[in-house]
Structure 1
């Protein structure tokens, strides 16, 4: 895959876009209140109104914009598409290269709090997925997980990193697994905080208590919480119209997952109708990511990753050294014996007592420690 021009990039959202956002928030047409007293029907009206008012009257996009611009930003043309990425070179002469990949509804923002601890020992490359954030929006139906993995591999090599590590969660986990599976000539090892695989059918008659809990959590996700995924995978363009036109729609589409997928005080078993998202993420933290999706008009383009990838999604074996960190409120968790059916060279395994799907964003200290521990037992 060809990597073209790599050039510096500065994020500078026009003030007119921020003023348009405030006007749209002020003119929101609201639905009626839900008929339950929890989050079981989605984001409650009262909380949506409170968060939208804060977004309109108090939130400051320029703060996170300045944080992002505080690191070196670049655009690289890869296979005809501009890819945005942060590139933080470590001062450590023994630092090793590491590419970090986010998922949906994430962004490069979720890694900002781990840049400092990780850059002590790693050269960090943090790309925005195609169609996300400040990366270009694909105009061809080819940017699947495997295609992105090939693009990331080409980018790392173009930056001079012919041997590197890869890390990811959510779609970032799928991309990272594809890098490990398809580009082992350059990738020396991977770490994932969402372990993408399948339970072993031969174990179903002899499940451990933990495995029963993992299956219950994932079954809850499948029966109650994955409507967004079905829509993204089948009709991403249609859902994009509403989210591109309504900032409150975009906000609730994302904040629902900040509630359901974080360790914010849910009921036993992980059914995400209890708890409150601000127990895990602040208003500003959530609105940083919501604003990024809104200001880059990325609702439809980010959703298309599901359409591009689900039809050909697989669970191929991975033989590079692998580290796995299981956070308790992850939506997909595998026991080690299940994971070993796909990951054939697990060199690090740890199950943590707090944290959820957005590990780097929600628990940056724990996440950074896990990454360091996993790659600490791997060699380039």
Structure 2
């Protein structure tokens, strides 16, 4: 490593932990609005119960220690302080891999995934398919500094390519889902000579209105399914294009407001019939919320939306091979317009948009299957 990389340890002052609990205890709860559950947003009883757990039972210090078990660092690139975890595998020949977290998430998204990737021997996998994991916090998220006006996924990708160069990695893979599905292909564009493959969690091959005339009946049904999922809830893209500063007052001052915002999106991102906390571990969800709270980054993490004119699905790239975790309702032939698809299984498990939080084992297995063909 170069001298520009400094060790980092999470160390939230006890006064801030106490303040969080006091604010949760003093929440001024609103009346429940009429309508079916979740039709007006996060239900009061549901959020009140989760906030009480956050206040009284959730152990931040335990989870802080768990995060600190991951070697973490910061480095300055182009004037921006970047936080990342860097977990090296003990296996010879391990492939370096950049994991790109999504929104509204943090590097905690991959807590359960790192073990299966870095130590497959201990998780029933092939030790020849191990990874050195590099897990950056997106600028403006968590412990990475907030970028200035005009920041983009392309700028983030160039920053990550420089980070990998600084770590001494000249050949590596990249992964991404949600926001990461936009960043990961851009890393391949920024450093095509170094990236061996891009692995995307869904997001590619989603049809748009312009594709409708050429869709088959089955594909049209898939298009309608995508529209039902993507337009039936809270349009966070539109909200964060218009007023992130306005919403940030609530997120920064009230942990209940922050929790309601995050839980609403995680609920909408679930495709399961079961309650959210049966799909994603409650403590993992609250660790994510705690990182936003303690770093005061709910507002600064909104830049992917407020710096864009309108929402568009990620297109990917054709510089290096691409693997995709989830198949339908995305359409492979549409993804192949912009990507060299070499891995597209259609039977993968997963009940949540953030599948690494819900099914880390199967997700790691599929990632190894793809990178096993390109490493």
Cα contact 1:101–1:127 (8 A) shared by 2: yes
1:318 matches 2:318: yes
1:173 to partner: Cα distance: 1.0
CA contact (8 A) 2:205 2:331 kept: no
Contact 1:128 1:134 in 2 (8 A): yes
Structure 1: which 5+ runs fail to align?
Answer: 266-274
Q: Which residue of 2 aligns with 1:133?
A: 142
Question: Following the alignment from structure 1 to structure 2, what is the Cα–Cα distance between the partners of residues 327 and 106?
Answer: 23
Gaps of 5+ in 2: 120-129
Which residue matches 2:59? Answer: 60
1:348 to 338, 343, 353: 343
**Cα pair distance change 1:206/1:316, threshold 3 Å:** closer
TM-score normalised by structure 2 residue count: 0.90
Aligned partner of 1:220 among 218, 224, 228 = 228
State whether structure 2 residue 201 is matched by structure 1 residue 193: yes
Q: Deviations over 1:24-63 (max 9, x none)?
A: 1111111111312321221111101111111111111112
What is the Cα deviation at residue 283 of structure 1?
2.0
Residue aligning to 2:44:
45
Check whether the contact 1:145–1:309 (CA below 8 A) recurs between aligned residues: no
The answer to whether the 8 Å contact 1:97/1:122 transfers is: yes
Within-5 A mapping of 1:194-273: 194-199=202-207, 201=210, 204-209=213-218, 211-265=219-273
Residue in structure 1 matched with residue 373 of structure 2 by the alignment: 377
Question: Cα distance, 1:190 vs. partner?
Answer: 0.5
Q: Is residue 363 of structure 1 aligned with residue 371 of structure 2?
A: no
Counterpart-to-counterpart distance in 2, 1:348 and 1:36 = 43
Contact persistence 1:327–1:355 (CA under 8 A): no
Check conservation: 2:240, 2:305, Cα contact below 8 A. Answer: yes
Distance verdict in 2 for CA 1:309–1:57, change over 3 Å? same
Structure 1 residues 82 and 342: alpha-carbon distance in aligned structure 2, compared to 1, 3 A threshold: same
Going from structure 1 to structure 2, the CA distance change for 1:308 and 1:47 (only over 3 Å counts) comes to same
- Match of residue 100 from structure 1: 99
Partner in structure 1 of residue 332 of structure 2 = 336
1:73–1:84 CA contact under 8 A, matched in 2 = yes
Question: Cα offset for 1:100?
Answer: 0.2
**Counterparts in 2 of 1:68-107, with a 5 A limit?**
68-107=67-106
Structure 1, residues 130-170: CA drift from partner, whole Å, max 9, x if none? 011111122x2132100000000000011001111000100
Say which of 98, 123, 127 aligns to 2:132.
123
- Tell me which residue corresponds to 1:308: 307
Taking structure 1 as the reference length, what is the TM-score of the superposition?
Answer: 0.89
SS of the residue 1:225 aligns to: coil
**How many Å separate the matches in 1 of 2:254 and 2:311?**
32
The question of whether the paired residues in 2 share the 8 Å contact of 1:74 and 1:86 is answered with yes
- For 1:8 and 1:373, how far apart are their aligned partners in 2? 33
Q: Could you tell me how far 1:110 is from its partner in structure 2?
A: 1.3
**1:82, distance to aligned residue in structure 2 (A):** 0.9
Identify which range, 362-371 or 178-187, moves more after superposition.
Answer: 178-187
Aligned counterparts of 1:323 and 1:240: Cα–Cα separation in 2: 36
Distance 1:327 1:249 in 2: 35
Give yes or no for contact 1:4–1:78 (8 Å, CA) kept in 2.
Answer: no
> CA RMSD, aligned part only?
2.1
Please, which moves more after superposition, 37-46 or 16-25? 37-46
CA shift, 1:4, in A, is 8.0
Q: Distance in 1 between matches of 2:217 and 2:173?
A: 32
Q: Deviations over 1:114-134 (max 9, x none)?
A: 111101311100000001111
Change (3 A) 1:143 1:34: same
Equivalences, count: 361
